[in-house]
Structure formats: structure tokens, C-alpha cells
Amino acid sequence: MNCYECRKESGVATSAEAVCQRCGAAVCADHLRVEKQELHQQVGLGKRTQELPARRMLCTFCDGAERSG
């Protein structure tokens, strides 16, 4: 699978390393943003945050869109 952003920008086929969790585009390391995401679990009437955070992978386009608000 090749990076969507590299193909769109320069027409070059670059191997993808991940898939954006928001839009599903395959992206290379240069177009990948990895964040920590807290996981919550319903417990009784409240919620509990898990001790270890999960990993969330986004392309640069979706990352920029989320930060613009």
C-alpha cells in the first residue's frame, strides 16, 4: 500500500506505514501523527479512565482539521 498524501502531492509512490483512524487513508511516516488517547470505561454511574493510554494515528490532513477548531 502506498501513501495517499505523497501520491497526491508529488506523484511519488512511497510505502505506507499506517492508516488514518479518521479518514482511512494510508500514510507514510512523514504524513503520520501519533497521539495518545485516554480510554474510558463505564463503571456504575460514573466512568473510569484506563491506566495505559491507547495509540491514535492520524494523517496530517485530519490532524490539522481537528486542531483548527
Identify the pLDDT of residue 21: 94
Residues contacting 50, CB < 8 A, separation 6+: 38, 39, 40, 41
Dump pLDDT digits (tens) for 7-62.
999 999 999 999 999 999 999 999 999 998 887 777 777 667 777 778 899 999 99
Identify the pLDDT of residue 47: 66
What is the spatial distance between Cα 25 and Cα 29, in angstroms, rounded to a whole number?
13
Residue boundaries of the structural domains of the chain = 4-67
In terms of pTM, does the model score above 0.95? no
| All three cell numbers of 23 | 479518514
